[in-house]
Chains A and B, each alone.
Chain A
């Protein structure tokens, strides 16, 4: 869908948005909270009620999902912190695909071991398709800092994943 602002979002626009971005949004929220689908659902509900429609819907959704996920984390932490962490860790983040030259479990583990900023930037850029400028606004750093974080993260991931990566190559 286009990013042109409009008074309200249509059903088809919403469907297109979800089809194109919901999986990445869930992955993004999954970094913080045990119920990422709920965070995305709530963000979409907010989007429907927003007048006028945000200028950049996708970037707006990432920012809103981030806030929802962090709110959820705070609530969950008050209830059962250990259980929240366990739930985040045991849920598969990616769709199994035997054609990939990567062990997805290893990838997930490697991602969880990244510094928070680097993981967030990697997810937002690789799967969320956000530009570094958008990511900079999202995580409140400069776009060049976001880009540097991304490169650092790739270097770390490469070091961690190289053994499994090479095995399949």
Chain B
């Protein structure tokens, strides 16, 4: 007999089980565009569409910039394909299609500001692990999880962005963590308004 066919006894927890089945997990917040791009790139027939692919930057250039070291300490401007903040940051899109539907505008974010935000999480955000994250497939597929930046204008999302080390933000680095976050949020907010 298959385990899933075990007779289910009528126990108090069975009612709980049926109620638990009604509870919905929070929707996933994925970079659907990056996935579609990846599917399209692997489809030689080109039958899948890749929305607005022309306006996406080549992620390799950022990675290469890091590897060369030419942009260390420089003000790097990332043009990130993203959607406008039409919903509060704490309300994720309910479906992937809602992400794609809003994917029409660009978002400009200063890399040093994001870099400074990395300092909130770890004293040395420039370790190999973070830098290596740039080389992950999802980043190569479409730099860099842009939708999450908008829908999650919070520390978690920003922390996922890894960029060259800025050497010119001593004031920021000296702030306590909670103040640092507030300041960064203030500075970043106009970029997506």
Contacts and interface: CB of A to CB of B under 8 A. Distances in A.
Interface in B101-141: 121-122, 127, 129, 136-138, 141
A22 B136 contact: no
B30 A18 contact: yes
Interface residues of A, number: 60
B13 A147 contact: no
B6 A41 contact: no
Contacts of B127: 79
Contacts of A46: 137
A31 to B, nearest CB: 12
Given A14-B35, A94-B24, A132 B42 contact: no
Contacts of A95: 23-27
B22 A100 contact: yes
Interface of A is mostly: helix
Given A23-B28, A45-B35, A79-B122, 19 more contacts: A10-B43, A10-B47, A10-B48, A11-B36, A15-B32, A15-B96, A19-B95, A22-B27, A24-B25, A25-B28, A26-B29, A27-B26, A34-B156, A38-B160, A87-B156, A131-B2, A154-B17, A161-B16, A162-B16
Contacts of A151: 13
Interface in B128-160: 129, 136-138, 141, 145, 148, 156, 160
Contacts of B137: 42, 45-46, 49
B24 A78 contact: no
Interface of A: 8-11, 14-15, 18-19, 22-27, 34-35, 37-38, 40-42, 44-46, 48-49, 75, 78-80, 83, 87, 92-95, 97, 100-102, 104, 107, 126-127, 131-133, 136, 143-144, 146-147, 151, 154-155, 157-158, 161-162, 165
A123 to B, nearest CB: 8
Nearest to B22: A100
| Interface bracket on B | 35 or more
B20 interface: yes
A147 B17 CA distance: 14
B24 A48 contact: no
A165 B12 CA distance: 11
Closest 4 CB pairs of A and B: A22-B28, A158-B13, A27-B25, A11-B48
A27 B20 CA distance: 14
B85 to A, nearest CB: 18
Contacts of A15: 32, 96
Contacts of B122: 79-80
B121 A79 contact: yes
A168 B3 CA distance: 32
Contacts of A101: 19
